[in-house]
A and B are shown apart, each in its own frame.
Chain A
Amino acid sequence: GAVVSQHPSWVICKSGTSVKIECRSLDFQATTMFWYRQFPKQSLMLMATSNEGSKATYEQGVEKDKFLINHASLTLSTLTVTSAHPEDSSFYICSARDTGTGKHFLYEQYFGPGTRLTVT
Chain B
Amino acid sequence: KNEVEQSPQNLTAQEGEFITINCSYSVGISALHWLQQHPGGGIVSLFMLSSGKKKHGRLIATINIQEKHSSLHITASHPRDSAVYICAVPDGSSGDKLTFGTGTRLAVRP
Q: Which residues of A does B touch, CB under 8 Å? A: 1, 32, 34, 38, 42-44, 46, 49, 91, 93, 97, 105-114, 116
Contact = CB atoms under 8 A, between A and B. Distances in A.
B67 interface: no
Contacts, number: 54
A77 to B, nearest CB: 14
A105 B42 contact: no
B41 A91 contact: yes
Interface of B: 30-31, 33, 35, 41-45, 48, 50, 86, 90, 95-98, 100-103
Nearest to A115: B41
Contacts of B95: 106-107
A93 B43 contact: yes
Given A105-B48, A107-B90, A107-B95, A113 B31 contact: no
Contact of B100 (A44, A108, A110): A44
Contacts of B101: 43
A113 B41 CA distance: 7
A109 B41 contact: no
14 contacts: A43-B86, A46-B98, A49-B97, A91-B41, A108-B31, A108-B45, A108-B48, A109-B33, A109-B45, A109-B98, A110-B45, A111-B45, A114-B42, A114-B43
Contacts of A108: 31, 33, 45, 48
Given A42-B102, A106-B95, 12 more contacts: A1-B45, A43-B100, A43-B101, A43-B102, A43-B103, A49-B97, A105-B50, A106-B30, A107-B30, A107-B96, A108-B33, A108-B48
